[in-house]
Structure 1
Amino acid sequence: MEIGTLVEMLGGKIIVGEQYMEKKVDYAFSSDLMSDVLAFVSEHAQDCVLLTGLTNNQVIRTAEMLDLSAIVFVRGKCPPMEVIELAEENDMVLISTPHTLYATSGILYGQGLEGVPI
Structure 2
Amino acid sequence: MRLGYIAEILDAQVICGGEFLELEVTAGCGSDLMSDVMAYVTENVILLTGLINLQVIRTAEMMDIKAIIFVRGKLPIDSMIELAREKNIVLMSTKLSMFIACGRLYNAGLQGKS
1:29 corresponding residue in structure 2: 29
Identity over aligned pairs, percent: 48
Where do 1:41-60 residues align within 5 Å?
A: 41=41, 44-45=42-43, 47-60=44-57
1:28-77, CA deviations, whole angstroms, 9 ceiling, x for partnerless residues? 00000000000000xx23x1000000110000000010111110000011
2:64 corresponding residue in structure 1: 67
Distance 1:38 1:62 in 2: 7
Give ranges in structure 2 of 5+ residues lacking alignment: none
Distance 1:71 1:38 in 2: 14
Please say if 1:102 is aligned against 2:99: yes
* Stretches of 4+ aligned residues off by more than 2 angstroms: none
TM-score (norm 2): 0.98
Tell me which of 91, 96, 111 is aligned to 1:114: 111
Give the root-mean-square deviation of aligned CA atoms: 0.6
Distance 2:88 2:107 in 1: 28
Distance 2:22 2:63 in 1: 20
Distance 1:23 1:58 in 2: 23
TM-score (norm 1): 0.95
Tell me which of 68, 71, 90 is aligned to 1:93: 90
1:84 corresponding residue in structure 2: 81
2:39 corresponding residue in structure 1: 39
SS in 2 for 1:15: strand
Distance 2:96 2:28 in 1: 15
SS in 2 for 1:103: helix
Give ranges in structure 1 of 5+ residues lacking alignment: none
Distance 1:110 1:12 in 2: 17
SS in 1 for 2:28: strand
